[in-house]
Structure 1
């Protein structure tokens, strides 16, 4: 009996330790719903981290020359995105980066990438995916630079931030991570279609960078902008679930229209980046250095989704560690994904997706 009681105390202590040091936000949960969200986030993160370790040998991507291709990426000026940019350049792909600070992005690229790789191959353009007007201006600039696009990587993201409303009236995490990318994909679809005609018969690709956190929540259409309930981890998870839904439904559109385009939603893994700035894990930074993936390792599944020949014709998939992974059960529900797609079109006043 004494042994069992001691074991119980040890388990409770371990859970309290995890909860104190591994919370997704500095905010303490105030009610059961917030506590549930936090616990699910911690558990999902630990499971994903374990998977990263077990499948680390699978997390590989062979780069190849794709001269003549054009890629558009949001973000890319730090963390995982910066190494995605580096790998795209190593494949001899031209890039348009949509970032909040183009000059800062230029300096970041120059700090880690050999100038011979990127000279004349990158355009640094302003784009705030949380501002729909900024997204429209960025899309116009891309259209001016390149009539055809072969890879679109919707990468820009924030995580577990305090509640904030954008100038469009959207919850900021959903706007930056999902809604802005939905609009950008709509606006660039003509260029992607043009790219499919100059891609050696292969599909062009749309990459919506997601997260394992998407499995911890559901889309709440009655409170889409989290005005009634907001918990940072839950709002982040909802935005990442929306990206998976979007990825799944895009495949339906492409097949209906007989377009040579495919979409993927890769999860980079648990990666040591600035996304954790609002997490209590920052109190013990050595843990991230020791156990999390590096940004370079986190970039591999995204690049895999963007260029791997193995994925040709296998769109609409959720990926992790350069392989297929299990997504949220509701992502397989056509009616559910269509509902979000139609809702977002209405939200953005899009009458026909891809037709400007």
Structure 2
């Protein structure tokens, strides 16, 4: 057994070394970076195995939701386009928060056709890495809809170079988590209103995370990564933040007796352009053979969004349309509340969604 473990470790080390040497990506410069990269590759390998063995569970039935309103960040490419397509096939109206509304409209109509999207998809500018843009988008939603029934926090980036946003946040944390945290706060009145006309069903908030959230911890002494930055580490932490946020938000929703639920999820290891900054870019056929397609990646998002099997079940972490265990820290209510309160402080939110 020890021999097999040692062999597996050696294979991962050789894998890391090979791809970094054969690409333009920077090799880990020290032991800390190497450990992060090792954990990342090991986690990805485990996720690929899970995707293979749980493929038979990665299925979702589309349920009709006429006259229901969904808000989604991103959605103009990759997994998002297929998520949008499924929402439309469920007869939902969808407003997308995207960086380039006109370009997104053209690409989505080209991909899905105007027959499916006409008068059912609306586009507004939203850069989740810019808190002013998030506030402007929330205002647009509020002006158009008095009630919404589904919020999918989907937009994201991965493995990007170090950058501090205008709001002072590390960019991956800002785009993947902080913007969605703020958006959920701002849209809470509309979500609560939606819970009153949702046919007795829970309004849902869906946070798109990743399996790599299990491979890190939140460092509050260097939350914006100014002391230490490694792209994979920052990405992992932003995805852990989404899971912890989900856990504590569900506590607040339940304490307030609201007909609402929130879940986080890993869509799978999916062949999208998010991997443009990863070592797998060297051999694209590897992704084609081993990774999920964007359509397959959209299924767990839709499962979290509409599946009757999840009705009344919140605070969960899902993968392959299956409830899975999250990072151990997510099962610690104090740790979840700690991050929640910390984000409220950074964003100057005194009473999140008027729920506290």
TM-score interval (norm. to shorter): over 0.9
TM-score between the two structures when normalised by the length of structure 1: 0.95
What is aligned with 1:327? 326
What is aligned with 1:85? 84
Q: Distance in 2 between matches of 1:39 and 1:27?
A: 14
C-alpha deviation, 1:22, in angstroms: 7.4
Structure 1 pair 323/12, CA: closer, same or farther in 2 (3 Å)? Answer: closer
| SS of alignment partner, residue 165 of structure 2 | coil
| SS of alignment partner, residue 149 of structure 1 | coil
For residues 124-143 of structure 1, the aligned pairs below 5 Å read 124-143=123-142
CA contact (8 A) 1:273 1:295 kept: yes
What is aligned with 1:182? 181
What is aligned with 1:302? 301
What is aligned with 1:103? 102
Q: Distance in 2 between matches of 1:352 and 1:143?
A: 19
| Structure 1 residue ranges (4+ consecutive) displaced by more than 3 angstroms after TM superposition | 8-15, 22-25
CA contact (8 A) 2:13 2:38 kept: no
| SS of alignment partner, residue 259 of structure 1 | coil
What 5-or-longer segments of structure 2 have no aligned partner?
none
C-alpha deviation, 1:114, in angstroms: 3.2
C-alpha deviation, 1:255, in angstroms: 1.0
C-alpha deviation, 1:113, in angstroms: 1.0
Q: Distance in 2 between matches of 1:25 and 1:319?
A: 34
Work out the number of aligned pairs and report it.
351
Structure 1 pair 354/11, CA: closer, same or farther in 2 (3 Å)? Answer: closer
| SS of alignment partner, residue 123 of structure 2 | strand
CA contact (8 A) 1:267 1:301 kept: yes
| SS of alignment partner, residue 15 of structure 1 | helix
| SS of alignment partner, residue 315 of structure 1 | coil
Q: Distance in 1 between matches of 2:106 and 2:31?
A: 45
What is aligned with 1:112? 111
1:139-194 deviation digits (Å, cap 9, x = unpaired): 00000111101000000000011100100110000000000000000000000000
| SS of alignment partner, residue 253 of structure 2 | helix
What is aligned with 2:14? 16
Structure 1 pair 206/103, CA: closer, same or farther in 2 (3 Å)? Answer: same
Query: Residue 211 in 1 paired to residue 213 in 2?
Result: no
What 5-or-longer segments of structure 1 have no aligned partner?
none
C-alpha deviation, 1:14, in angstroms: 6.5
What is aligned with 2:55? 56
- Superposed CA RMSD: 1.9
Q: Distance in 2 between matches of 1:240 and 1:215?
A: 9
What is aligned with 2:276? 277
CA contact (8 A) 1:25 1:233 kept: no
